[in-house]
Structure 1
Amino acid sequence: MTRLTLLAYTASAALVATAAFAANPMVGGAPMYENKTIVENAVNSKDHETLVAAVKAAGLVDTLNSEGPFTVFAPTDAAFDKISDESLAQLLMPEHKAQLAKILTCHVVAANAMSDAIAGMIADDGGMHPVPTVGGCTLQAQMKGNKITLTDENGRAATVTIADVRQSNGVIHVIDRVLLPAQ
């Protein structure tokens, strides 16, 4: 291999590696790696410390580390801050584990749904698409401008603020509100 060929090969490999890394957005100041699971990536996001604590308290770590595929609509710490400290502390107690698991699994879909697919389903359904979750909730997805919003069964709406964060077992879409099962 000539020196010029070697330089060209090295440069093209670096561009491919950079493009692959750039394809996945940073979340909470941390790189998200496509070869790691949802939980393995979430623990590094400074914006998802409450979500990670809740997933642990609900006993969902093994599930979200499994093969999937899963689509997780991941509320940020700021989204959890909209819940009173007292209510959140109660939810994290062992005696409320089932309720917490229900809330969290209402943020999970048993599929690998990228934002373009979700937007396509919304368009195909005339502007609103039902999204059944693992927790038995049905979220309503729609477009607000170029952003996907999800409305829970109580009329609470969340906006996808970071879409298409690829994981080895699915995808994360960061949202700005905690969604709840029907109350």
Structure 2
Amino acid sequence: MPSHRLVYLTLAAASIPLVTTAALSHNHKAGAKSAGNIVAGVSASKDHKTLVAAVKAAGLVDTLASGGPFTVFAPTDAAFGKLPAGTLDTLLKPENKGTLTSILTYHVVSGKVSAKSLVEQINAGGGQAVLTTVQGGKLTATLDSGKVVLRDQSGGTATVTTADLMQSNGVIHVTDSVSLPG
């Protein structure tokens, strides 16, 4: 297991802390290349078991394992734990597959958006970048103390805790909260 250490990557006059932990597995460090796809990347993570179960329940495994490229803002198990009691159990029921799919695809953006590119978009946008998700909704990215923060359409925020986990079909950015469409 690698040690938990904080490294800084200076991007477009902003510093985004990138935590090189076992966020997606001991083989994945921020900015590292991976031979696996997005599904393989999150499946290897001890911190993304809930996300993997949700992706399977929504029937999105084949889509997220396909060519892409995709940018995935991947909430940790702890992030799912912040949802109100019973919410996750309800979402995982077969009759709620549509709602679950909508929430999960709200965490996905078409194309490969690196941390550097996202910070450049934020700076070019006067302090914010609006990302259109695969679900069709919008996520607004800003910087707060050098960290990328996503504001969802419900007014919630999620901070990127680990960025640029490169996969064969895109990139994963780990977040500390679940983003919800409006």
TM bucket normalised to smaller: 0.7 to 0.9
- The amino acid of 1:87's aligned partner reads T
Q: Is the contact made by 1:30 and 1:46 (CA closer than 8 Å) also made in structure 2?
A: no
Which range moved further: 79-88 or 170-179? 79-88
Instruction: Please show how residues 31-50 of structure 1 align to structure 2 within 5 Å.
Output: 31-32=27-28, 34-50=34-50
Return the alpha-carbon distance in structure 1 between the equivalents of residues 60 and 143 of structure 2: 30
1:58 corresponds in structure 2 to: 58
Q: Is the contact made by 2:70 and 2:108 (CA closer than 8 Å) also made in structure 1?
A: yes
Return the alpha-carbon distance in structure 2 between the equivalents of residues 106 and 146 of structure 1: 24
Return the alpha-carbon distance in structure 2 between the equivalents of residues 44 and 85 of structure 1: 26
Return the alpha-carbon distance in structure 1 between the equivalents of residues 91 and 48 of structure 2: 17
Q: Deviations over 1:60-112 (max 9, x none)?
A: 00000000000000000000000134111010000000100000000000010
What RMSD in Å do the two structures reach over aligned CA positions?
1.4
1:74 corresponds in structure 2 to: 74
Q: Where does the alignment leave 5 or more consecutive residues of structure 2 unmatched?
A: 1-18
Q: Is the contact made by 2:24 and 2:41 (CA closer than 8 Å) also made in structure 1?
A: no
- Considering fraction of residues, name the structure with more strand: 2
1:137 corresponds in structure 2 to: 137
Q: Structure 1 segments of 4 or more deviating over 2 A?
A: none
1:30 corresponds in structure 2 to: 26
Q: Is the contact made by 1:105 and 1:134 (CA closer than 8 Å) also made in structure 2?
A: yes
SS of match in other structure, 1:126: coil
Return the alpha-carbon distance in structure 2 between the equivalents of residues 77 and 109 of structure 1: 21
Aligned residues: 159
Return the alpha-carbon distance in structure 1 between the equivalents of residues 81 and 136 of structure 2: 24
- Considering fraction of residues, name the structure with more helix: 1
Deviation at 1:28, TM superposition (A): 4.4
Q: Where does the alignment leave 5 or more consecutive residues of structure 1 unmatched?
A: 1-23
Q: Is the contact made by 1:37 and 1:168 (CA closer than 8 Å) also made in structure 2?
A: yes
